[in-house]
Structure 1
C-alpha cells in the first residue's frame, strides 16, 4: 500500500473494454492501475463471479440464448423491481456459455463485444497473482459485495467464499493490497468480526443502505456518522459529487468538508467514478458537444487530488496516470 493517491480501475479499463472481463482487468493493470475492482455476485452453485449487477441482460448476450429464455423473470431486490436474467438462477457452467458486451453502447465502442466470458473471482485473483510475481509493489484487488443482504436471504452469502479466496491467495493483515467495499452496513460489520482486512463503506449521493430501514447516506457523512463508520471500516467511497459538487451550470463548485471530516475520523476517501466522456464531465471540462467524445478528465481528477482524496475510482486508467503525473 502507498501514501500516494491510488488509482482504482473501476471494473477494469471499462472505458475501453467490456467491464468486468479479464481483458479489461489486464488492460488496466498494464496501463498502471494500483487496484482492480470486481463487483461480486453469486451463481446458483455458490461461486463468486464479477458482474456489475446480478441481472445480466445489459452486460451479456444472455437474451440471445434460446435455451435460457425461460429463465427470464422479475424480482424485487433491495426494494426495487428488476426484470431479466439473474446470476443466482444459473450455474457457473451455464454462465460460462455467455459472452460479455459493452454496458454503455450509446457512449462506447462495441468492437470488443463477445470476446470474453464472465470471470470468477478466483480467476481474477489468479490473473493478478501472475502480474505480481516480479512486482515490488503489488497490484491490489478492491472487491465489492453486491446486494449482500439479498444474497444472504436466498442462502448465498458473500462472506465465506470471499474470505476463503482472499486467504488462499495471500491477502492477510492490515497492510494487504485489498479493500473490501459495500454500500450496505451489516455486511461490513459482519466482515469486521471475521477479518482485519481493510474495509470501505460506499456512500451514494441519495438514499441510504438497503439493509437499514430509514437509513440515510446523508446522515452517514455527518461528523457523528463518520465516527460510527470508523468503528468498523477504514475508509469511505463516496459519490464524487459529495466531495466537489456542481452548480446549476454543471461547473465544479468549491470542495465540501467531507475529505477533511473523514480524515479527522481516521478514514480514507476514495470517490467514484471518473470517466472521460463529455457526457459525464463538468461543463468546464467538456471538449465539444458530442457526449461520446473525450473531454478533460485529467483536469477533473486534478481538482479532486487538490481536495485531498486518497484515491479515485476510474473507468480510464491511462488518463488517471497522467493526472497523477507519476511513473507506473
Structure 2
C-alpha cells in the first residue's frame, strides 16, 4: 500500500512527469541517424564503453530542475519518480553555521528574497577567489551573511531566464538544509523501494571557510552530517569539538531489507576534494574541472587519479577540445608545461585515457531539449570533428565515448535516450 507521503508526492509532481513523458514520445518516434568520423568505430554491438561495462549513471542535476524549482523538495521528489540514479544537492553555509542547499552563493536568481523588506539591508557586493579566478557579484543577498531563520523565510522560484520551465510551483517550497535533503532521500528510498545516490557538492569552500574558527570548518561540518546519515564513514578524525553546536535529528532505522544508495563528494576546489578523500571512506571523489589546463593531459590525469575516482569536466571538452574550451574561458597556459605533461588529450580519447587509470568520467550538464546545448561548434563549426544538432545526437556521441556518469536535466528524456542507445547500438 502506498504511504500518505508517497501519495502526496505523486499528486504534486504528476503534472510535470506526464508532461515530460509526452515530450519523450516525440523522441521515441524519431529514426536513428547518427555517425561521426571520431566515433564510427565505437558503434559496435559490443556492450557499453564505460569503465564498469554498465550503462551510464544519470545524476539529477539539482534534482529535476527542468520541471520544478531547483533544489526544492519537489525537484528531488520528481527526480526520484523519474528514475534518477543520483540526486544532487549543492551545499552552502549560513552565517550561523547551518549547511543549506543552493547552487549559487547568492539568492536573488532563484528565490523571492527581493520581496522581503526585512532582508533588504543584507543586499551587498562581494568579490572572492575561486580556483584562482576572481568572482565579483553585485547587488545580491549572500547565504553566508544570513542566518538559517532568515534563509527559511525565502521561497524558491524557477530562474526567470528560463521562461519555458513550468512556473506553477514558484514561491511554494522553502530552501532546504543539507540534513533535510538527506532525510528526503532516505524517505524516498523507503517509499519508492529503490536506492538513490547522494552526491553533494561543496561550493566555494574557501569563501565559506573565511572567518570561521579554522580553515576546514565547511568540509568537516559536511562530513559529520553525511556520516550521521550513514552515507559516509570518517576515516581520519575531524575537528569534532568545533562542531559541538551541530544538532542533528536522531536517526530512524531503515526497514528490514532497505539499503541506502551510494554516495560521492563533489568539488571544484581540488584541495577540498583531496581533504574529503583523506577523511572519508567509501565515498568516491568527483573532481569538477573547468579552468585548469594541466588536468587535460596524461600527467594531469595521473595526478588526479591519486585521489579522485571520477573526473567531471564541462561537456564541451569532449567536443571542441581542451585548447578551444580554455580559450573561450579566457584561460591561458604554459605551453612547455603542457608539453611536459604529455600535451592535451584529444576530446574523443579523454574518457578512454581516464579509464586506463581506473578513473570514471562524468561530463556536465546535459540540458533539457528546450534549452540550447551550448557547444562552441554551434557558433564555429571548425571547432571539432563533430557538432551535435539535437539531443539524440548529443547523447549518443557521449554514450559512444564511454562516459560513466552524466549530469542531466529532464531525466525522463535522458533515460529514454539511454534506452534507445542500448536497444539500437549496444548488444
Query: Residue 257 of structure 2 corresponds to which residue in structure 1?
Result: none
Please report the TM-score for the alignment, with normalisation by the length of structure 1: 0.85
Whole-angstrom distance in 2 between the partners of 1:169 and 1:124: 11
Instruction: Give the aligned CA root-mean-square deviation in angstroms.
Output: 2.7
Q: Indicate if the aligned counterparts of 2:314 and 2:363 stay in contact, CA closer than 8 A.
A: yes
Query: Residue 93 of structure 1 corresponds to which residue in structure 2?
Result: 149
Query: Residue 164 of structure 1 corresponds to which residue in structure 2?
Result: 224
Whole-angstrom distance in 2 between the partners of 1:279 and 1:4: 25
User: More deviation in 57-66 or 101-110?
Assistant: 101-110
Q: Indicate if the aligned counterparts of 1:16 and 1:108 stay in contact, CA closer than 8 A.
A: yes
Query: Residue 139 of structure 1 corresponds to which residue in structure 2?
Result: 196
Query: Residue 121 of structure 1 corresponds to which residue in structure 2?
Result: 178
Q: CA deviation at 1:281?
A: 2.6
Counterpart among 353, 356, 367 of residue 275 in structure 1: 367
- Of structures 1 and 2, the larger Rg is shown by 2
Query: Residue 269 of structure 2 corresponds to which residue in structure 1?
Result: 184
Query: Residue 224 of structure 1 corresponds to which residue in structure 2?
Result: 299
Secondary structure of the residue aligned to 1:132 is: helix
In structure 2, runs of 5+ residues without a counterpart are 1-51, 236-259, 325-345, 379-388, 423-427
How many residues are matched?
301
Q: Equivalent residues in 2 for 1:1-328 (5 A)?
A: 3-78=54-129, 79-83=134-138, 84-103=140-159, 104-133=161-190, 137-155=194-212, 157-172=217-232, 177-196=262-281, 197-204=283-290, 207=291, 217-245=292-320, 255-281=347-373, 296-325=390-419
Higher relative contact order (CA 8 A, sep 6+): 2
Q: Indicate if the aligned counterparts of 2:265 and 2:276 stay in contact, CA closer than 8 A.
A: no
In structure 1, runs of 5+ residues without a counterpart are 208-216, 248-253, 287-294
Query: Residue 338 of structure 2 corresponds to which residue in structure 1?
Result: none
Q: CA deviation at 1:109?
A: 3.2
Q: Indicate if the aligned counterparts of 2:59 and 2:407 stay in contact, CA closer than 8 A.
A: yes
Deviations 1:81-120 (Å, cap 9, x if unpaired)? 1120001111111111110111233443323211111011
Query: Residue 251 of structure 2 corresponds to which residue in structure 1?
Result: none
Whole-angstrom distance in 2 between the partners of 1:61 and 1:14: 17
Q: CA deviation at 1:165?
A: 1.5
Please report the TM-score for the alignment, with normalisation by the length of structure 2: 0.66
Deviations 1:285-318 (Å, cap 9, x if unpaired)? x9xxxxxxxx943442222111100010011111
Query: Residue 290 of structure 1 corresponds to which residue in structure 2?
Result: none
Whole-angstrom distance in 2 between the partners of 1:106 and 1:240: 24
Q: CA deviation at 1:277?
A: 3.5
Whole-angstrom distance in 2 between the partners of 1:272 and 1:56: 22
| Greater helix fraction, Structure 1 or Structure 2 | 2
Deviations 1:241-262 (Å, cap 9, x if unpaired)? 1122399xxxxxx952110111
Whole-angstrom distance in 1 between the partners of 2:362 and 2:228: 27
Cα distance change on mapping 1:219 and 1:158 into 2, 3 Å: same
